Structure 1
Amino acid sequence: MLAVSALALSVAPVVAAQQAEADKVYLEADVLIDNQQNQEMIAEGNVVARYGDRQLSADRVIYSLDTKKVRAIGNVRIQDPDGTVRFSDEIEVDDTLGSGVAAEFSAQLPDNALVAARTATRTENGSNMLERAIYTACDVCEENDYTPTWSLRARKAVQNAETGMISYQDTVFELKGVPIFYMPYFAHPDPTLERKSGFLFPKPGSSSKLGFVYEQPYYWAISPYQDVIVEPRIHTKVNPTLGLEYRKRFWSGSLTADLSLAYDYEFDSNGDRIQYDQNYNVIEEPENFTGPLIPSEESLRSHIFAEGGFIINEDWRWGFSAERVTDDLYLRRYDISGENEKRGLYDTEQKRLLSQIYAVRQTKSSYFDVATFSVQGLRPGDDDDEFGVVTPLAFAEQNLDFGKYGLVTFQGLTSILNRAEGDDTRRVTASAQWENSYVAPAGLIFEPQAKLRTDYYDYYLEGTGTTDTVEDRTTRNVGMVAATARWPLINRTSFANIYVEPIAMVAYSESSIENGTLPNEDSTFYEYTLDMAFEPDPFATSDLIETGTRLAAGVRSRADFNNNLSLNGVVARRWKSEDDDSFSRASNLSQTESDYLVGSGLSFGNVFSIESNFRLDEDFTLQRTELRSSLEYWRLQAGVTYFELSDDLSDSQIRNIGSEGIQIQGAFDVTKNIKLMYSQIRNIETQERRREAIGVEFYDDCGFIRLTWSESDISDRGVGDSGALKIAFGLRTLGNLAGDQFD
Structure 2
Amino acid sequence: MLVLLRNRALAHPPLRIATMRPVRPLRTGLATLAAMLCVHLAAPGTARAQETGAASVVQQGATDQDAPALLVADRVYMDGPGRLIAEGNVEALRDGLRLRASRIVYDEENGTLSVEGPITITGSDAAGDNSAVVLADTAELDADFRNGLLSSARIMLGQQVQMAAQQMARVDGRYNQLYKTTVSSCHVCTDGSPPLWQIRAERVVHDEVGQQLHFEHATLQVYGVSVFYLPYLRLPDPTQERATGFLTPTIRRNSELGTGIKLPYYIAMGDDRDLLLTPYVSEVTTTLEFRYRQAFSNGALSVSGAVANDTLDDADMRGYLQLAGTFYLPQDFVLRFNIEAISDDSYLTDYGYSDEDRLKSEIIISRARRDEWMRAALVHYHTLRDSEDTATIPALIADLNYQKRLFPAAMGGELRLSAEAHEHYRYSTLDYDSDDSDDITDGRDVTRLNVSADWRRSFTLAGGLRVETLGGLAIDSFYTTQDELLPTSQTGVTPYTAVTLRWPVQKVSDSGSVTIIEPVAQIAWSGGSQLDIANDESTRTEFDEGNLLGLTRFASPDRREHGWRGAYGAMISQFHPSGWTGRLVVGQILQDTPDSSFNEASGLTGQFSNVLVAGQVTAPGGWSLSARGLFDNEFSVTKTSARASWLNDDAEFGATYVWLGPDQAVDRDQVISEWTIDGAYQVSPNWGVSADIRYDVAEDQPASAGLGVTWTNECVDVNLAVSRTYTSSSVVTPSTDFSFTIGLLGFSTGGSSSASSGSCRN
Matched residue, 1:646: 661
2:421 paired residue among 403, 414, 419: 414
1:664 is the counterpart of 2:674? no
Superposition pairs for residues 366-445 of structure 1, below 5 Å? 366-390=372-396, 392-402=398-408, 405-421=412-428, 422-445=443-466
2:101 paired residue among 49, 58, 67: 58
Matched residue, 2:84: 41
Task: Say whether the 8 Å CA contact 2:278–2:288 is kept in structure 1.
Answer: yes
Matched residue, 2:245: 198
Matched residue, 1:709: 722
Report how far residue 36 of structure 1 moved: 5.3
Looking at structure 2, the residues matched to 557 and 179 of structure 1 have their Cα atoms a distance apart, in angstroms, of: 67
Q: Amino acid of the residue matched to residue 742 of structure 2? A: F
Looking at structure 2, the residues matched to 601 and 25 of structure 1 have their Cα atoms a distance apart, in angstroms, of: 65
Task: Say whether the 8 Å CA contact 1:150–1:177 is kept in structure 2.
Answer: yes
SS at match of 2:242: coil
Deviates more, 1:30-39 or 1:502-511: 30-39
Distance 1:2 1:177, change over 3 A: farther
Task: Say whether the 8 Å CA contact 1:360–1:367 is kept in structure 2.
Answer: yes
Report how far residue 145 of structure 1 moved: 7.8
Looking at structure 2, the residues matched to 62 and 335 of structure 1 have their Cα atoms a distance apart, in angstroms, of: 66
Distance 1:322 1:45, change over 3 A: same
Matched residue, 1:285: none
Superposition pairs for residues 1-16 of structure 1, below 5 Å? 3=7, 11=32, 13-14=35-36
Report how far residue 265 of structure 1 moved: 4.9
Looking at structure 1, the residues matched to 480 and 67 of structure 2 have their Cα atoms a distance apart, in angstroms, of: 84
Q: Amino acid of the residue matched to residue 696 of structure 1? A: V
SS at match of 1:442: helix
Looking at structure 2, the residues matched to 325 and 178 of structure 1 have their Cα atoms a distance apart, in angstroms, of: 47
Looking at structure 2, the residues matched to 663 and 619 of structure 1 have their Cα atoms a distance apart, in angstroms, of: 28
Distance 1:70 1:458, change over 3 A: same
1:359 is the counterpart of 2:376? no
Report how far residue 10 of structure 1 moved: 5.1
Q: Amino acid of the residue matched to residue 536 of structure 1? A: L
Report how far residue 660 of structure 1 moved: 1.0
Report how far residue 326 of structure 1 moved: 1.4
Deviates more, 1:363-372 or 1:404-413: 404-413
Q: Amino acid of the residue matched to residue 712 of structure 2? A: Y
Matched residue, 2:136: 88
Looking at structure 2, the residues matched to 614 and 439 of structure 1 have their Cα atoms a distance apart, in angstroms, of: 32
Distance 1:175 1:665, change over 3 A: farther
1:261 is the counterpart of 2:307? yes
SS at match of 2:152: strand
Q: Amino acid of the residue matched to residue 154 of structure 1? A: A
Q: 1:659-693 CA distances to partner (integer Å, 9 max, x unpaired)?
A: 11111111223222111221112222223433201
Report how far residue 179 of structure 1 moved: 5.0
Matched residue, 1:294: none
Task: Say whether the 8 Å CA contact 1:58–1:73 is kept in structure 2.
Answer: yes
Looking at structure 2, the residues matched to 359 and 66 of structure 1 have their Cα atoms a distance apart, in angstroms, of: 72
1:116 paired residue among 164, 167, 188: 164
Report how far residue 523 of structure 1 moved: 0.6
Greater than 6 Å deviation, 4+ residue runs: 5-8, 15-19
Matched residue, 2:613: 598
1:78 is the counterpart of 2:121? yes
Distance 1:546 1:123, change over 3 A: same
Matched residue, 2:584: 569
Distance 1:529 1:9, change over 3 A: closer
Q: 1:251-305 CA distances to partner (integer Å, 9 max, x unpaired)?
A: 21111111111234545xxxxxxxxxxxxxxxxxxxxxxxxxxxxx333221112
Q: Report the structure number with the largest CA radius of gyration.
A: 2
1:136 is the counterpart of 2:184? yes
Looking at structure 2, the residues matched to 155 and 591 of structure 1 have their Cα atoms a distance apart, in angstroms, of: 83
Report how far residue 119 of structure 1 moved: 1.7
TM-score normalised to structure 1 length: 0.86
Q: Amino acid of the residue matched to residue 369 of structure 2? A: T
SS at match of 1:525: coil
1:684 is the counterpart of 2:697? yes
Task: Say whether the 8 Å CA contact 1:172–1:180 is kept in structure 2.
Answer: yes
Looking at structure 1, the residues matched to 233 and 467 of structure 2 have their Cα atoms a distance apart, in angstroms, of: 73
Superposition pairs for residues 516-531 of structure 1, below 5 Å? 517-531=532-546
Q: Amino acid of the residue matched to residue 216 of structure 1? A: L
SS at match of 2:552: coil
Superposition pairs for residues 181-196 of structure 1, below 5 Å? 181-196=228-243
Deviates more, 1:387-396 or 1:304-313: 387-396
Report how far residue 568 of structure 1 moved: 2.2
Q: Amino acid of the residue matched to residue 100 of structure 1? A: G
2:293 paired residue among 227, 231, 247: 247
Report how far residue 248 of structure 1 moved: 0.9
Matched residue, 1:223: 270
Report how far residue 111 of structure 1 moved: 6.3
Task: Say whether the 8 Å CA contact 2:276–2:292 is kept in structure 1.
Answer: yes
Deviates more, 1:68-77 or 1:547-556: 68-77
Q: Amino acid of the residue matched to residue 489 of structure 1? A: V
Looking at structure 2, the residues matched to 178 and 451 of structure 1 have their Cα atoms a distance apart, in angstroms, of: 81
5+ residue gaps, structure 2, are 16-28, 40-58, 429-442, 754-762
Report how far residue 388 of structure 1 moved: 3.6
Q: 1:608-667 CA distances to partner (integer Å, 9 max, x unpaired)?
A: 11111111011110111211011236844211111111224762738xx96111111112
RMSD value, Cα: 2.9
Deviates more, 1:65-74 or 1:411-420: 65-74
SS at match of 2:248: coil
Q: 1:142-176 CA distances to partner (integer Å, 9 max, x unpaired)?
A: 87689755432333212134654212234343446
Matched residue, 2:49: none
Deviates more, 1:205-214 or 1:350-359: 350-359
Task: Say whether the 8 Å CA contact 2:67–2:94 is kept in structure 1.
Answer: yes
Distance 1:223 1:620, change over 3 A: same
Deviates more, 1:107-116 or 1:298-307: 107-116
Looking at structure 1, the residues matched to 457 and 247 of structure 2 have their Cα atoms a distance apart, in angstroms, of: 60
Looking at structure 1, the residues matched to 232 and 298 of structure 2 have their Cα atoms a distance apart, in angstroms, of: 42
Distance 1:585 1:627, change over 3 A: same
Distance 1:113 1:483, change over 3 A: farther
Distance 1:252 1:385, change over 3 A: same
Task: Say whether the 8 Å CA contact 1:22–1:51 is kept in structure 2.
Answer: no
Matched residue, 1:484: 500
Looking at structure 2, the residues matched to 81 and 30 of structure 1 have their Cα atoms a distance apart, in angstroms, of: 22
SS at match of 1:332: helix
Report how far residue 93 of structure 1 moved: 2.3
Superposition pairs for residues 263-278 of structure 1, below 5 Å? 263-266=309-312
Identical positions, percent: 24
Matched residue, 2:258: 211
SS at match of 1:405: coil
Looking at structure 2, the residues matched to 303 and 441 of structure 1 have their Cα atoms a distance apart, in angstroms, of: 64
Looking at structure 1, the residues matched to 749 and 61 of structure 2 have their Cα atoms a distance apart, in angstroms, of: 54
Q: Amino acid of the residue matched to residue 3 of structure 1? A: N
Task: Say whether the 8 Å CA contact 1:25–1:95 is kept in structure 2.
Answer: no
2:70 paired residue among 27, 32, 42: 27
- The count of residues paired between Structure 1 and Structure 2 equals 688
Task: Say whether the 8 Å CA contact 2:31–2:111 is kept in structure 1.
Answer: no
Task: Say whether the 8 Å CA contact 2:516–2:573 is kept in structure 1.
Answer: yes
Task: Say whether the 8 Å CA contact 1:627–1:641 is kept in structure 2.
Answer: yes
SS at match of 1:531: coil
SS at match of 2:728: coil
Q: Amino acid of the residue matched to residue 676 of structure 2? A: Q
5+ residue gaps, structure 1, are 268-296, 340-349
Report how far residue 491 of structure 1 moved: 0.9
Distance 1:446 1:134, change over 3 A: farther
